[in-house]
A and B are shown apart, each in its own frame.
Chain A
Amino acid sequence: MKLTSFLIREAIQPALVATTRDGAISEMIRSLQAAGKLPGADLADITSAVLRREQLGSTGIGRGIAIPHSRHRDVPNLVGTVALAPKGLAFDSIDGEPVQVLFLLISPDQQPGPHLRALEAVVQKTKDDGLVAKLRNAKTVDEIWELL
Protein backbone atom coordinates (compact mmCIF):
# COMPACT_ATOMS: atom_id res chain seq x y z
CA MET A 1 0.00 0.00 0.00
CA LYS A 2 1.43 3.36 -0.97
CA LEU A 3 1.30 6.16 1.55
CA THR A 4 0.06 8.51 -1.11
CA SER A 5 -2.98 6.29 -1.64
CA PHE A 6 -4.47 7.40 1.68
CA LEU A 7 -2.49 10.42 2.88
CA ILE A 8 -4.25 13.63 1.95
CA ARG A 9 -1.84 16.11 0.44
CA GLU A 10 -4.13 19.06 1.09
CA ALA A 11 -4.12 18.27 4.80
CA ILE A 12 -0.34 18.10 5.24
CA GLN A 13 1.07 20.62 7.71
CA PRO A 14 4.76 21.45 7.52
CA ALA A 15 4.68 23.28 10.85
CA LEU A 16 2.08 22.57 13.46
CA VAL A 17 1.00 25.47 15.60
CA ALA A 18 0.13 23.26 18.55
CA THR A 19 2.76 22.69 21.20
CA THR A 20 1.13 19.72 22.90
CA ARG A 21 0.27 16.19 21.82
CA ASP A 22 -3.45 16.71 22.19
CA GLY A 23 -3.34 20.04 20.42
CA ALA A 24 -1.39 18.54 17.54
CA ILE A 25 -3.87 15.72 17.11
CA SER A 26 -6.79 18.17 17.10
CA GLU A 27 -5.02 20.36 14.59
CA MET A 28 -4.35 17.44 12.26
CA ILE A 29 -7.97 16.29 12.40
CA ARG A 30 -9.12 19.80 11.60
CA SER A 31 -6.77 19.85 8.64
CA LEU A 32 -8.44 16.73 7.27
CA GLN A 33 -11.79 18.38 7.70
CA ALA A 34 -10.59 21.53 6.00
CA ALA A 35 -9.44 19.36 3.10
CA GLY A 36 -12.98 18.05 2.81
CA LYS A 37 -12.11 14.52 3.84
CA LEU A 38 -14.34 14.21 6.87
CA PRO A 39 -17.70 15.36 5.48
CA GLY A 40 -20.43 15.26 8.08
CA ALA A 41 -18.15 13.66 10.61
CA ASP A 42 -18.34 14.32 14.32
CA LEU A 43 -14.93 15.93 14.72
CA ALA A 44 -15.12 16.11 18.48
CA ASP A 45 -15.87 12.40 18.65
CA ILE A 46 -13.06 11.52 16.23
CA THR A 47 -10.67 13.64 18.25
CA SER A 48 -11.79 12.00 21.46
CA ALA A 49 -11.32 8.55 19.95
CA VAL A 50 -7.76 9.31 18.86
CA LEU A 51 -6.90 10.83 22.22
CA ARG A 52 -8.42 7.88 24.07
CA ARG A 53 -6.28 5.60 21.96
CA GLU A 54 -3.22 7.56 23.08
CA GLN A 55 -4.30 7.07 26.66
CA LEU A 56 -4.20 3.31 26.11
CA GLY A 57 -0.60 3.56 25.01
CA SER A 58 1.55 6.07 23.21
CA THR A 59 1.77 5.80 19.46
CA GLY A 60 5.21 7.37 19.62
CA ILE A 61 7.20 4.59 18.03
CA GLY A 62 10.56 6.23 18.57
CA ARG A 63 13.03 8.16 16.43
CA GLY A 64 10.79 11.21 16.59
CA ILE A 65 7.81 9.57 14.91
CA ALA A 66 4.24 9.11 16.13
CA ILE A 67 1.27 7.50 14.44
CA PRO A 68 -1.86 8.62 16.29
CA HIS A 69 -4.87 6.77 14.95
CA SER A 70 -8.34 5.46 15.50
CA ARG A 71 -11.23 3.84 13.74
CA HIS A 72 -14.49 5.75 13.43
CA ARG A 73 -18.00 5.10 12.13
CA ASP A 74 -18.11 8.47 10.32
CA VAL A 75 -15.17 7.64 8.06
CA PRO A 76 -16.07 5.63 4.96
CA ASN A 77 -12.48 5.21 3.76
CA LEU A 78 -9.06 5.24 5.31
CA VAL A 79 -7.65 8.76 5.43
CA GLY A 80 -4.53 10.20 6.87
CA THR A 81 -2.22 13.12 6.95
CA VAL A 82 1.27 14.12 7.94
CA ALA A 83 2.38 16.99 10.12
CA LEU A 84 5.70 18.22 11.34
CA ALA A 85 6.48 19.69 14.75
CA PRO A 86 9.96 21.17 14.29
CA LYS A 87 10.43 21.93 17.97
CA GLY A 88 9.28 18.50 19.03
CA LEU A 89 6.28 17.39 21.04
CA ALA A 90 6.22 15.38 24.23
CA PHE A 91 4.50 12.14 23.29
CA ASP A 92 5.58 9.62 25.89
CA SER A 93 7.28 7.78 23.06
CA ILE A 94 8.81 4.36 23.49
CA ASP A 95 12.32 5.85 23.38
CA GLY A 96 11.47 8.90 25.47
CA GLU A 97 12.30 11.28 22.65
CA PRO A 98 10.07 14.14 21.47
CA VAL A 99 8.09 13.66 18.29
CA GLN A 100 8.67 15.78 15.21
CA VAL A 101 6.94 13.72 12.51
CA LEU A 102 3.31 12.72 12.96
CA PHE A 103 1.19 10.48 10.76
CA LEU A 104 -2.51 10.58 11.63
CA LEU A 105 -4.65 7.66 10.45
CA ILE A 106 -8.43 7.46 10.67
CA SER A 107 -9.95 4.19 9.46
CA PRO A 108 -13.47 2.96 8.87
CA ASP A 109 -14.90 1.18 11.84
CA GLN A 110 -15.44 -2.17 10.13
CA GLN A 111 -12.31 -2.42 8.02
CA PRO A 112 -9.34 -3.58 10.08
CA GLY A 113 -7.36 -4.75 7.05
CA PRO A 114 -6.60 -1.36 5.52
CA HIS A 115 -5.76 -0.02 8.95
CA LEU A 116 -3.06 -2.62 9.49
CA ARG A 117 -1.76 -2.16 5.94
CA ALA A 118 -1.55 1.57 6.48
CA LEU A 119 0.44 1.11 9.69
CA GLU A 120 2.76 -1.23 7.86
CA ALA A 121 3.18 1.28 5.04
CA VAL A 122 4.05 4.09 7.43
CA VAL A 123 6.60 2.13 9.42
CA GLN A 124 8.09 0.70 6.24
CA LYS A 125 8.61 4.19 4.87
CA THR A 126 9.96 5.64 8.09
CA LYS A 127 12.38 2.80 8.60
CA ASP A 128 14.77 4.85 6.47
CA ASP A 129 16.64 7.17 8.85
CA GLY A 130 17.74 9.35 5.97
CA LEU A 131 14.17 9.86 4.84
CA VAL A 132 13.04 10.71 8.34
CA ALA A 133 15.83 13.26 8.65
CA LYS A 134 14.73 14.86 5.39
CA LEU A 135 11.13 14.87 6.54
CA ARG A 136 12.09 16.62 9.75
CA ASN A 137 13.80 19.34 7.77
CA ALA A 138 11.10 19.74 5.14
CA LYS A 139 9.54 23.17 4.99
CA THR A 140 6.75 22.86 2.44
CA VAL A 141 3.90 20.56 1.55
CA ASP A 142 5.54 19.87 -1.80
CA GLU A 143 8.77 18.77 -0.15
CA ILE A 144 6.94 16.44 2.21
CA TRP A 145 4.80 14.98 -0.53
CA GLU A 146 7.82 14.38 -2.71
CA LEU A 147 9.54 12.52 0.10
CA LEU A 148 6.52 10.33 0.65
Chain B
Amino acid sequence: MNTMALIRQNVVVGIAPMGLHMRPAMEFAKLVQAARCTVSVFHGEKKADGRSPTDLLMLFAPPGTELTLELDGDDADALLQPLIAILTAEAEGDEPRAGS
Protein backbone atom coordinates (compact mmCIF):
# COMPACT_ATOMS: atom_id res chain seq x y z
CA MET B 1 0.00 0.00 0.00
CA ASN B 2 1.45 3.34 -1.00
CA THR B 3 1.45 6.03 1.62
CA MET B 4 1.70 9.64 0.64
CA ALA B 5 2.85 12.14 3.17
CA LEU B 6 4.58 15.45 3.55
CA ILE B 7 7.00 15.14 6.40
CA ARG B 8 9.29 17.72 7.92
CA GLN B 9 11.81 16.58 10.46
CA ASN B 10 14.67 18.33 12.21
CA VAL B 11 17.81 16.28 12.59
CA VAL B 12 21.10 16.99 14.32
CA VAL B 13 24.03 15.63 12.40
CA GLY B 14 26.25 13.15 14.17
CA ILE B 15 28.76 11.15 12.16
CA ALA B 16 31.74 12.23 14.20
CA PRO B 17 34.27 13.48 13.47
CA MET B 18 33.51 14.84 10.00
CA GLY B 19 29.75 15.18 9.83
CA LEU B 20 27.98 14.94 6.50
CA HIS B 21 30.95 14.12 4.34
CA MET B 22 31.14 12.15 1.16
CA ARG B 23 30.31 8.64 2.22
CA PRO B 24 27.14 9.44 4.19
CA ALA B 25 26.17 11.93 1.49
CA MET B 26 26.45 9.23 -1.16
CA GLU B 27 24.55 6.72 0.97
CA PHE B 28 21.83 9.27 1.61
CA ALA B 29 21.57 10.19 -2.06
CA LYS B 30 21.41 6.57 -3.19
CA LEU B 31 18.52 5.87 -0.81
CA VAL B 32 16.65 8.89 -2.06
CA GLN B 33 17.33 8.05 -5.70
CA ALA B 34 15.76 4.64 -5.16
CA ALA B 35 12.68 6.09 -3.48
CA ARG B 36 9.50 7.48 -4.95
CA CYS B 37 9.18 10.53 -2.75
CA THR B 38 11.16 13.72 -3.13
CA VAL B 39 13.56 14.72 -0.39
CA SER B 40 14.88 18.18 0.34
CA VAL B 41 17.42 18.92 3.03
CA PHE B 42 17.71 22.39 4.51
CA HIS B 43 20.55 23.94 6.46
CA GLY B 44 19.32 27.40 7.25
CA GLU B 45 18.56 28.97 3.93
CA LYS B 46 20.57 26.44 1.96
CA LYS B 47 18.52 23.78 0.26
CA ALA B 48 19.79 20.49 -1.10
CA ASP B 49 18.11 17.99 -3.34
CA GLY B 50 18.41 14.74 -1.43
CA ARG B 51 19.17 12.86 -4.63
CA SER B 52 22.33 14.84 -5.16
CA PRO B 53 25.44 14.03 -3.13
CA THR B 54 27.02 17.26 -4.32
CA ASP B 55 24.05 19.29 -3.10
CA LEU B 56 24.32 17.56 0.26
CA LEU B 57 28.05 18.22 0.55
CA MET B 58 27.47 21.89 -0.20
CA LEU B 59 25.30 22.16 2.89
CA PHE B 60 28.53 21.92 4.90
CA ALA B 61 27.20 20.05 7.92
CA PRO B 62 29.79 19.10 10.53
CA PRO B 63 28.65 17.25 13.67
CA GLY B 64 26.09 19.22 15.63
CA THR B 65 24.58 20.90 12.59
CA GLU B 66 20.80 21.03 12.60
CA LEU B 67 19.24 20.07 9.30
CA THR B 68 15.61 19.91 8.29
CA LEU B 69 14.44 17.06 6.12
CA GLU B 70 11.39 17.47 3.96
CA LEU B 71 9.99 14.34 2.39
CA ASP B 72 7.05 14.56 0.03
CA GLY B 73 5.16 11.77 -1.62
CA ASP B 74 5.01 8.03 -1.75
CA ASP B 75 7.00 6.11 0.82
CA ALA B 76 8.04 9.22 2.72
CA ASP B 77 7.14 7.47 5.97
CA ALA B 78 9.24 4.44 5.15
CA LEU B 79 12.25 6.48 4.02
CA LEU B 80 12.45 8.88 6.95
CA GLN B 81 14.07 6.66 9.57
CA PRO B 82 16.77 5.23 7.28
CA LEU B 83 17.72 8.77 6.27
CA ILE B 84 17.79 9.92 9.89
CA ALA B 85 19.95 6.94 10.76
CA ILE B 86 22.54 7.96 8.20
CA LEU B 87 22.67 11.53 9.44
CA THR B 88 22.72 10.77 13.15
CA ALA B 89 25.18 7.88 13.25
CA GLU B 90 27.30 8.51 16.33
CA ALA B 91 30.60 7.86 14.68
CA GLU B 92 31.57 6.97 11.20
CA GLY B 93 34.33 4.47 10.70
CA ASP B 94 34.76 5.87 7.29
CA GLU B 95 38.06 6.74 5.78
CA PRO B 96 40.51 4.11 6.90
CA ARG B 97 43.46 5.76 8.53
CA ALA B 98 47.03 4.80 7.94
CA GLY B 99 47.93 1.71 9.84
CA SER B 100 44.32 0.69 10.46
Chain A residues near B (Cβ < 8 Å): 42, 45-46, 48-49, 52-53, 56-59, 61-62, 67, 69-74, 94, 109, 112-113, 115-117, 119-120, 123-124, 126-127
Chain B residues near A56: list those with CB within 8 A: 23, 94-96
Tell me, yes or no, whether B30 is within 8 Å of chain A by CB: yes
Scoring B18, B19, B95, B96 by chain A CB atoms within 10 A of each residue's CB, the highest score goes to B95
B54 CB, min distance to chain A CBs, angstroms: 4
Give the complex CA separation of A81 and B9 in angstroms: 38
Task: Please determine whether B53 and A116 come into contact, CB atoms closer than 8 angstroms.
Answer: no
Chain B residues near A73: list those with CB within 8 A: 97-99
- The closest CB in chain A to the CB of B18 belongs to A112
- The closest CB in chain A to the CB of B61 belongs to A116
Task: Please determine whether B95 and A71 come into contact, CB atoms closer than 8 angstroms.
Answer: yes
B51 CB, min distance to chain A CBs, angstroms: 10
Chain B residues near A127: list those with CB within 8 A: 54, 58
A9 CB, min distance to chain B CBs, angstroms: 24
Q: Can you offer 11 A-B residue contacts whose CB atoms are under 8 A? A: A46-B98, A53-B94, A53-B95, A61-B26, A62-B53, A71-B95, A74-B98, A109-B97, A112-B21, A113-B62, A124-B58
Closest 9 CB pairs of A and B: A112-B18, A123-B54, A112-B17, A52-B96, A123-B57, A45-B98, A120-B60, A53-B95, A72-B98
Interchain CB contact (< 8 A) of B54 among A45, A48, A112, A126: A126
Whether A120 contacts B22 in the complex (CB less than 8 A), given A73-B99, A94-B29, comes out as: no
Task: Please determine whether A59 and B62 come into contact, CB atoms closer than 8 angstroms.
Answer: no
Number of interface residues, chain B, beta carbon within 8 A: 23
Interchain CB contact (< 8 A) of A116 among B21, B29, B98, B99: B21
B9 CB, min distance to chain A CBs, angstroms: 23
B51-81 vs A, Cβ < 8 Å mask (1 yes, 0 no): 0011001101010000000000000000000
B77-91 vs A, Cβ < 8 Å mask (1 yes, 0 no): 000000000000000
